Amino acid sequence: MTYFTKINPDGSQSTGTYHPELAEASIGCLKRDLKQLRRTKGKGFVRRPYSDLNEAEIIALNPASPPADLIVAVGVCPIVVGDTNARIPMTQQQVQEAINNHGFVDCWSRKGFA
């Protein structure tokens, strides 16, 4: 089993375990995101969900997340640079807001990045 730590909206933390299949997909997302964070020099970015890893469906398993069909993007923020990051599911409306108002690098509208 793989352990994870979740930071809740109120700032508290909770831990849990992933099933091996979910852990493998999550680690795949982490590795790809860390590579992209190096390209953006540590700046947060917005990207499309990794369809080959069924990322939207995995994120939607969390009851606090939007349904998988509404997740059109994932915001990635460095927490510990070079080690870990946070993935934030986003709806269409949240994508433009994140890019325009919060300074995320736009990897979402680029073709070929997914």
Give the pLDDT confidence of 62-114 residue by residue, as tens digits.
777 888 999 999 999 887 666 667 888 999 889 988 888 888 899 888 754 44
**Section 46-61 average pLDDT:** 90
Say which amino acid occupies 9: P
Amino acid sitting at position 111: K
Cα–Cα–Cα angle for 35, 37, 24, rounded to 5 degrees: 50
Higher pLDDT, 64 or 18: 64
Q: What does the domain layout of the chain look like in residue ranges?
A: 32-106
From the number of C-beta atoms within 10 Å of its C-beta (0-12, 13-18, 19+), residue 106 rates as middle
Largest CA distance in the chain: 39
